[in-house]
Amino acid sequence: MIRSMPRYLILPILYGLCVMVDAGDKPAQNDKAPNQKLSVIDIRRASDAERTLAATLQGLVNKTEARVWIKGGGMQKILLNELETEGYELEQIATVWELVASFRAKIKGCIVYDSGNRSI
């Protein structure tokens, strides 16, 4: 059928199909807002031990859902703005110890590491 169609009609038809498929793939903005609090901590000025603690706690807490965001450089501001747009409530955490206090119930045990070993 396409071979018998004039070439000038093929491109608009294909474009229309692509637009219809693309529009169907995008969820509506705030269709399902998470209504969830996300604890955001900036560890760029933290010690190596505090960075390790924050990353370990992030791994424990985020097993089932996003709850802790470790702020870094790059596109972080844009990503955090997008998360707010999607319905996340961003709670700024000042220190790693505040983060520990917030999620104390998730901590069961401890991690011992050698601060002279850069493998972490």
pLDDT digits (tens, 9 = 90+) for 100-119: 999 999 888 877 777 777 77
The reported pLDDT for the residue numbered 27 is: 46
CA torsion sign for 99, 75, 72, 26 is positive
pLDDT at 96 over 80: yes
pTM of the predicted model, to two decimals?
Answer: 0.66
Q: What is the DSSP string of the chain?
A: -GGGS-HHHHHHHHHHHHHHHHHHHSPPTTTT----EEEEEE-TTS-HHHHHHHHHHHHHHTTTS--EEEE-STTHHHHHHHHHHTTPEEEEE-SHHHHHHHTGGG--S-----TT-TT-
Alpha-carbon distance 91 to 4, whole Å?
A: 61
- Decide if pLDDT at 99 tops 90: yes
Average pLDDT over residues 59-81: 90
Please tell me the predicted confidence (pLDDT) of residue 94. 95
Pair type for strands 89-93 and 68-71: unpaired
pLDDT at 4 over 70: no
| pLDDT class of 6 with cuts at 50, 70, 90 | low
> pLDDT tens digit string along 8-53?
555 555 455 444 444 444 544 545 556 689 999 999 999 988 998 9
Beta bridge partners, 93, equal 41
Q: Would you state the pLDDT for residue 114?
A: 78
